[in-house]
Amino acid sequence: MERKVGFIGLGIMGKPMTLNLMKAGHTLTVFDLNQEAVSSLVEAGATAAASPKKVAENSDVIITMLPASKHVQEVVLGENGVLEGAKEGSVIIDMSSITPEVSKELAAEAAKKGVGMLDAPVSGGEPKAIDGTLAIMVGGNEDVFESVQSVLYGMGKDVTLVGDNGCGVTAKLANQIIVNLNIAAMSEALVLAAKAGINIEKMYQAIRGGLAGSTVLDAKVPMILDRNFVAGGSIAINMKDITNVMDTAHEIGVPLPLSSQLLEIFHALKVDGKIKDDHGSIVRYYEKLANVEVKRV
């Protein structure tokens, strides 16, 4: 079913997601502070809007894909924001990675205006955003979820309603713990193997079919061997997510010793000027400790 969709936030993830929605037959109105990103989508067939309010006025489904909680709050609640222009019965889908607390607050404010709200963060990074196979974890009302499924499946393959508002972003926090600690564990192993002098490519082939095999291993080992740290998911974004993980965990009484260590690793990488690298760059923290580089023989 074709829908009038507004999309706010045309970055590494948002831009390909918007293109996929157009391919799926939806009509797109877009907004971003980066005019170059807006122009490239207008060329592809989208309509530009001057503000989030204007996006909402022209759409019945409004998607936000922004860096952090404060940006989503500003775009949804602020002056010339989405809720100033959203029609009753329209739906906001926030696909950013924000805190459960902020997500629930936004849903409550949207409800006062008769606007539905879903938190629907994604996993899969830039490659899956491009090919439209993102995993999407959703929090919100079941009826609202069902009303926008055609839009969600325009961007993703595995779309799951996890529970009420805030549950999608909570699932995303859990996802980020698993992904980033997996990269850290893999990095320790790769650095050990590199320092021991074995062929990393052959080791990777030897272990990938066993219990140590993972999506993370298959995605990141080739990048590391190519010394390719161009961000699909940057250290900056993942550091923000793990900061949200720790804040949320401490709020509800959950000690997370490994995640807290990971956050310090991210801060060390930031100090080392690697904040814009892909999170596969976690390996470079360990390489520096051991004075060795993981590379092809």
pLDDT in tens, 109-158: 999 999 999 999 999 888 899 999 999 999 999 999 999 999 999 999 99
Look at residues 131, 163, 195 and tell me which one is the last residue of a structural domain: 163
DSSP 8: E
Residues with Cβ within 8 Å of 184's Cβ and at least 6 positions away in sequence, in order, are 262, 265, 282
Residue 296 is assigned to a structural domain of this protein = no
d(CA 202, CA 218): 13
Question: Distance between CA 91 and CA 76 in Å, rounded?
Answer: 12
Clarify whether residues 19 and 151 are in a common domain: yes
Domain co-membership, 64 together with 207: no
The H-assigned helical ranges of 166-278 are 167-196, 200-207, 215-225, 235-252, 257-271
Please indicate, yes or no, whether residues 117 and 243 belong to a single structural domain of this protein.
Answer: no
Q: Are 17 and 7 in contact (CB under 8 A)?
A: yes
At residue 136, the 3 state secondary structure works out as strand
For residues 190 and 164, give the distance between their C-alpha atoms in angstroms, rounded to a whole number: 40
Q: How does pLDDT run across 44-77, given as a tens digit for each residue?
A: 999 999 999 999 999 999 999 998 899 999 999 9
Same domain, 204 and 143: no
Same domain for 125 and 9:
yes
Within a domain: 200: yes
3-state secondary structure of 24: coil
Q: Which amino acid is at 150?
A: S
Residue 278 lies in a domain: yes
Do 158 and 186 fall within a single domain? no
* Strands (E) located in the chain: 4-8, 27-31, 47-48, 61-64, 91-94, 116-119, 122-123, 134-139, 156-163
- Model pTM? 0.89
**295 within some domain:** no
Q: Which of 143, 163, 183 is the last residue of a domain?
A: 163
Same domain, 159 and 176: no
Residue 37 backbone phi and psi in degrees, to 5: -65, -45
Q: Are residues 40 and 151 in the same domain?
A: yes
Point out the catalytic residue in the list 53, 54, 128, 172.
172
CA distance 166 to 140: 7
Q: Are residues 194 and 145 part of one domain?
A: no
Average pLDDT over residues 276-296: 97
Choose the final residue of a domain: 141, 163, 185. 163
Count of the separate structural domains present in the chain = 2
68 assigned to some structural domain: yes
User: 297 falls in which pLDDT band (50, 70, 90)?
Assistant: confident
Same domain, 19 and 136: yes
The verdict on 179 and 134 lying in the same domain is: no
Instruction: List the domain range (segments joined by +) for residue 56.
Output: 4-163
Across 63-67, 122-126, 181-185, 186-190, least confident range: 122-126
Same domain? 142 vs 195: no
**Residue 11 resides in a domain:** yes
What's the mean per-residue pLDDT of the chain?
95
Report CA-CA distances (Å) from 72 to 63, 90, 97, 188.
Answer: 10, 17, 10, 36
With a cut of 80, say whether residue 166 has pLDDT above it.
yes
237 within domain boundaries: yes
> Which CATH number does the domain housing residue 191 bear?
1.10.1040.10
* Helical pair 100-112 and 69-77, crossing angle rounded to 10 deg: 10
Cα Dmax for the chain: 64
Assess whether 195 carries a catalytic annotation: no
8 A C-beta contact, residue 10 and residue 18:
yes
**What CATH number is associated with residue 17?**
3.40.50.720
Q: Does residue 297 form part of some domain? A: no
